[in-house]
Structure 1
Amino acid sequence: MAYERGQYRLLALDLDGTLLNESSEISDTNAEWVKHAVDAGVTVCVSTGRGFNSALPIAEKLGLESPMITVNGGEIWTKPHSLHRRTLLDSSKVMKLHALAEQYPDVWYWGYTTVDIYNKERWVGDTIASDWLKFGYYTEDVQSLGEILKEIQTWDGLELTNSSPFNIEINPTGVSKATALMEVCRMLGYEMSEVVAVGDSLNDIAAIRAVGLGVAMGNAQDEVKLAANVVTGSNQEHGVAQVIQNYVLRK
């Protein structure tokens, strides 16, 4: 059966907790419906907090040659391997964020540079020399996470979100999936009203609010559901496929 594109021209998909199930896999159902969307002329854009290297295999598995948004908008790609724009996180701020992390022995932390990802078990000596994109903290100790958040909220120049209730993600001010999608639309000649954005975490909220149709996953954080126009099934229920069937394509 052939499907036609409806009113939306671009589908922006978060990966973890959205397109991917709890085993970090794309279900056959989701893959099938993403292909239907692409075949119908919809631009499918990966929009993730992941770095390029860990987002790329997913885009390749889906056969996508379309724009990609990685590290929450810190990088915008015209297509895989073709970098359009990169926004760096000041390395002196990364050193401060790292020093704060070290005060909490049980907190996991990581940082993306333009070439690699570093974490608590593997940190680089000379952080000043690296081009940083994003920093993050993870702990299920809600009190420690709250203390860290309260501290860094007083610092300038940082965009704070999360990709799970137990982490904090830090980008430079103004960097978000929403601003990245605006740039992708400018590149392609689309309007933001022609975009569907799907996600489950705080790093998806700005995009969900900014587009024509903002969709929260059934497993999304409550704040994300409140920001969305509609709520779809969970990432275990092929929620992305449901979005494509219900809102993006028509027979």
Structure 2
Amino acid sequence: MNNKYKLLALDMDGTLLTSEHIISPVTSKWIQKAKDQGIHVCLSTGRSFGSALPYGEELGLTTPMITVNGSEVWRSPHDLYERSLMDPKLIIAMHDLAVEEDCWYWAYSIDRMYNSDEWTDGIMDGEWLKFGFHTEDDDARHRILMKLQDMGGLEITNSSPHNLEVNPQGVNKAAGIQKVCGLLGLEMNEVIAVGDSMNDLAAIQAAGLGVAMGNAQQVVREAADFVTSSNDEDGIAKVIEKFILV
């Protein structure tokens, strides 16, 4: 058994989950095989803890988790290790920008998600983790990106070609995985990081083995050490078979 890799860090949407937002039986079976060999399996997602947890429970994971693109790192489910908050003034500025560009927007506080349909007047009283923009208007998205870059102090990625996700600068999945390695006594070269979007790019570049899904954005595929099949073709199962259970 090759135990070169000890941690499998998995993005969720577009990676672990199929287009129907489920974990396929084949992928689930191979993840259990990896766990049986002592491999740590870590969810590394842009989702909130509450949204990611049911999938972790379905897989029987008691390992660390990375949520909200690295704004939260959990020692184990429900045991928070570190949380990185965003200045509420930045949330106000991004909300104003989203309204100005007339695009769909959302934001995660530590308690819940707000969006275009249900916003809050109490921004300054909240504890904020992430802000997101969604628009299929490429020009509008480019204008938003330029203005975000001018604000400074932001980590700007995406989880689909049509959105922008914003965390505090320096907060990303790679930094989250580094913290998880610290908790588990591992090195980054013992990590396989798998993902499909720009918010996975830093992790894919930093890991011992960076894997892009077959459905990944082009820039992510180009940065990866290996491109597996798509999220609807059990790409994760193939990674475990090829690189872990060998």
Deviations 1:182-208 (A, max 9, x none): 111011100100000000000000000
Instruction: Kindly indicate whether the alpha-carbon contact (under 8 Å) linking 1:6 and 1:247 is maintained by their aligned counterparts in 2.
Output: no
User: 1: CA distance between counterparts of 2:95 and 2:117?
Assistant: 13
Alignment of 1:118-157 (within 5 A): 118-157=114-153
Aligned counterpart, 2:90: 93
Q: 2:214 aligns with which of 191, 215, 218?
A: 218
Alignment of 1:54-93 (within 5 A): 54-93=51-90
Is 1:15 aligned to residue 12 of structure 2? yes
Aligned counterpart, 1:181: 177
Aligned with 1:112: secondary structure? strand
User: 2: CA distance between counterparts of 1:5 and 1:176?
Assistant: 29
User: 1: CA distance between counterparts of 2:245 and 2:204?
Assistant: 19
**Runs of 5+ unmatched residues, structure 1:** none
Aligned with 2:150: secondary structure? coil
Is 1:249 aligned to residue 245 of structure 2? yes
User: 2: CA distance between counterparts of 1:101 and 1:128?
Assistant: 18
Alignment of 1:200-239 (within 5 A): 200-239=196-235
Q: 2:30 aligns with which of 25, 29, 33?
A: 33
**Runs of 5+ unmatched residues, structure 2:** none
User: 2: CA distance between counterparts of 1:192 and 1:152?
Assistant: 30
User: 2: CA distance between counterparts of 1:5 and 1:149?
Assistant: 43
Identical aligned pairs, as a percentage? 51
For 2:110, the aligned partner's letter is T
User: 1: CA distance between counterparts of 2:37 and 2:18?
Assistant: 25
For 1:103, the aligned partner's letter is E
For 2:30, the aligned partner's letter is W
Aligned counterpart, 1:111: 107
User: 2: CA distance between counterparts of 1:109 and 1:211?
Assistant: 31
Deviation of 1:6 (Å): 2.7
Aligned length in residues: 246
Q: 4+ runs of 1 displaced by more than 2 Å?
A: none
User: 1: CA distance between counterparts of 2:119 and 2:37?
Assistant: 45
Aligned with 2:14: secondary structure? helix
Give the RMSD, CA atoms, in angstroms: 0.7
User: 2: CA distance between counterparts of 1:124 and 1:38?
Assistant: 42
For 1:47, the aligned partner's letter is S
For 1:123, the aligned partner's letter is W
